[in-house]
Structure 1
């Protein structure tokens, strides 16, 4: 196994258990606008993609920036209201990230979420130490499955892609890690291990408590000794 210098985490469904609330937000968005919306299909097509890409998928056409901004503001405001009332990390995330940092691993976040959702999550998650870099989906990078967000996260922390491990809960994110030349851990909060499989996927777990019980970080240390 290649030396590991950094862990790059997706945010929604990977750091925080938010994906059901994104789905609920789309349901409420559709109700308010009187839209007939197949939410599971929309989630399948958009999870990991940036806001503009999601708006285009929703409307099934190229939208304007203003239209995308309006859709994003409305839907994400609903999401933050819903999830804020029941906010929860993916079990064991903070403890795992803290233990990884204590072992000298660099921590970064690579998410398709915009700055408002990033601020919402980080304020409530209270990571200590904070990530060394956070790359968001509203910074001009194409969304997953392209590797742009993960490659930028690696660039910002000064680590070669081959020495990074990505943590992801969605097929587009797992594919983005592969295209970036990074290994991946599948966090099976919203998809099965089979749906998140790949030759670069080195573990598939339900949450970080399970990952900690497997001595995952200790295994990385042994691989780099």
Structure 2
């Protein structure tokens, strides 16, 4: 049972945190690179993991010398991603039960994601978590280029009317964990295979690390 959390807020990332989706995104990348005859490298994945979609498009075009416009490339990716997120993505184990418990405890809930609005909406509907959150914020809603800036977390907190020090962020990537801590928020890190290379540093910075939401804190920080 989660203890009463009135006056506290939980802000959740989607990819790799609430959603078991990183393999799906990787498969979209694999399929796209294969159709273009390009090589998908680890350093490319690291470079783009926290960028806005339009930033990823521009970076990819420059890096690989593509003739697409950023808009056309983003639209093509959107079609591939929407299909995947609307049909195959699943919630992380025990995520729905944890959201139920937090909601019942009086905690305020928000999403802070790098996913575009269309993708996040279809994914959240598909796994049945769209009704839990008072606000859903994308990096696109801010002036920042990625989660290396705290703007997306601060915007979520502002929309909830909760001070940053009363917010707990759930994230999986090192950049996001580090940024949320710099914003003055508590941070719990979700173990995910795509962030395994940074496991030690994530564990050092975060307030705690969980393997799934059955391990999540029973009271927010």
TM-score range (shorter-chain normalised) is 0.7 to 0.9
Q: C-alpha deviations, 1:181-209, integer Å up to 9, x for none?
A: 2110000123233142344x111011102
Q: For residues 125 and 168 of structure 1, what CA distance do their matches in structure 2 show?
A: 18
Is 1:169 aligned to 2:172, yes or no?
A: yes
SS of equivalent to 2:207 = strand
Q: Which of the residues 206, 217, 223 maps onto 2:211?
A: 206
Given the alignment of the two structures, is residue 182 of structure 1 paired with residue 185 of structure 2, yes or no? yes
Please tell me whether the aligned partners of residues 47 and 172 of structure 1 are also in contact (alpha carbons under 8 angstroms): no
1:22-37 pair list within 5 angstroms: 22-37=25-40
Match of 2:112 among 104, 110, 113: 110
CA distance in 1, matches of 2:79, 2:130: 26
3-state DSSP of counterpart to 2:110: strand
SS in 2 for 1:194: helix
Structure 2: unaligned runs, 5 residues or longer: 1-5
State the 4+ residue runs in structure 1 displaced beyond 3 angstroms: 82-85
Q: Give the structure 1 partner of residue 218 of structure 2.
A: 217
Structure 1 residue 83: Cα displacement: 4.5
Classify 1:4/1:69 alpha carbon distance in 2 versus 1 (closer, same or farther; 3 Å): farther
Distance 1:160 1:198, change over 3 A: farther
| C-alpha contact (below 8 Å) 1:107/1:132 kept by paired residues | yes
Distance 2:50 2:117 in 1: 15
When the two structures are aligned, how many residues end up with a matched partner? 209
Change (3 A) 1:197 1:56: farther
TM score, norm. by length of structure 1: 0.84
Q: Choose from 140, 154, 157 the match for 1:154.
A: 157
Q: Cα RMSD between the aligned structures? A: 2.3
Of stretches 52-61 and 168-177 in structure 1, the one that deviates more from structure 2 is 52-61
Residue 210 of structure 1 and its aligned partner are, at CA, apart by 2.6
Q: How does 1:1-225 map to 2 (within 5 A)?
A: 5-38=8-41, 40-60=42-62, 67-127=69-129, 129-142=131-144, 143-190=146-193, 191-192=195-196, 193-199=199-205, 201-211=206-216, 216-218=217-219, 220=220
Deviations 1:126-147 (A, max 9, x none): 2274200000133243211111
In structure 1, runs of 5+ residues without a counterpart are none
In the alignment, the residues of structure 2 paired with residue 4 and residue 167 of structure 1 have an alpha-carbon distance, to the nearest angstrom, of: 17
TM-score, with length taken from structure 2: 0.85
